[in-house]
Structure 1
C-alpha cells in the first residue's frame, strides 16, 4: 500500500488506500459513525459478495476495474468512474469481472 497513513484534513488517493490481494476481498473503513460509513474495497478477479440486503441506501463508486452488481436479481456491469445507488432492502450481490476497487458510502437514516 503506497499510502500508509490516513489523516483527516490531508488529501489522499482512495484507490491507493486498499490493494487487491490474490483470491481475496479486502476492505478498509475510512469513516465509521452511527450515522454512516465510508469503506474502500478491493476484489480480486472472480471474488464476490453473495446476495444480501441492507436497511439503508448504499452508494458505490468503482475506482478501477469492473464489477457485476446485481440488484433484485438483475445483473449490470459497473466500470471505473461509474456510480450506482443500491436501494435499501433490495437484494444485491457483487462479483469481480476483473480485479476492481470501489468506495461504498452508506448513510443511515
Structure 2
C-alpha cells in the first residue's frame, strides 16, 4: 500500500514529514507492503509505544531527540542518529523520556507469495 505523501523517486526529509502532537504518538507509514514496512513515529514526552510482537526483526533509528528502548527489562538509550536491531519475537517498548522521532523498518524474511 503506497502512501501518497511519500512519492517514489522524489527526495524528502523524513523528520519533516510529521509533527509532534501533545500527549500523542503519531505514526505514518512510508511503505506498508506484504514483504515489510517502513514507518516513522513522533512520540511525545511521557508516552510509551508498545508494538505488536512479530517474528521479524525490527530496525529502528532515532532521527530526532532521544529514546529509551526496553527489551527483557533492560533499557537501551538511543540518541539522535543511533540505531539498533530489535530481535524478532521479542516483546519490547519504546519510551519517551523526552519527545523524539524514530524510523522503524521491518523486512519479512521467508515470505512466500
Same fold (TM over 0.5): yes
Q: Which residue of 1 aligns with 2:16?
A: 16
Which structure has the highest strand share of the two?
1
SS in 1 for 2:50: strand
Q: Which residue of 1 aligns with 2:49?
A: 49
Q: TM-score, normalised by structure 1?
A: 0.91
Q: Which residue of 2 aligns with 1:7?
A: 7
Q: Which runs of 5+ in 1 are unaligned?
A: none
The Cα shift of 1:51 comes to: 7.1
* Rounded Cα–Cα distance in structure 1 between residues aligned with 2:31 and 2:51: 24
Aligned-residue CA RMSD in angstroms?
Answer: 1.5
Moved over 3 A (4+): none
Q: Which runs of 5+ in 2 are unaligned?
A: none
Conserved 8 A contact 1:58-1:106: yes
> How many residues of Structure 1 are paired with residues of Structure 2 in the alignment?
106
Asked if 1:102 corresponds to 2:102, the answer is yes
SS in 2 for 1:12: coil
Asked if 1:59 corresponds to 2:59, the answer is yes
Cα distance per residue 1:29-67 (max 9 Å; x no partner): 010110000000000011112375221000001001111
